[in-house]
Amino acid sequence: MYAIVESGGKQYKLEVGQTVDVERLDANVGDLVELDRVLLVADGETLHIGKPVLESARVAARVVEHGKGRKVIIFKYKPKERYRVKKGHRQAYTRLRIEAIEA
């Protein structure tokens, strides 16, 4: 059984027991989070597709940790001018462990 869920503007294919990194959520470590923007649920032979979301479907996940991703370097440069800008960015994420998928 798997579900496709939208969180933070991105879509994730989730199965029970899987861990996934999503955009930072406002929850404490150990809390149970309910993802309700479920786009699709597949259970063996049956396939339920939302228009755009399934109203009765939920995915329960537990917050494992919060962290920051690897650093991405942004470098701007204009030739023949003394213009150089170097910036770095680390995106915040929340690691979730999927507990249950309710169709």
Q: For residue range 38-71, what is the model confidence (pLDDT) as tens digits? A: 999 998 889 999 999 999 999 999 999 999 999 9
Q: pLDDT value at position 31? A: 95
Q: pLDDT value at position 50? A: 92
All structural domains of the chain with their residue ranges? 2-102
The model's pTM: 0.85
CA distance 38 to 13: 10
Q: How far apart are the first and last CA of the chain?
A: 10
At residue 103, does pLDDT exceed 90? no
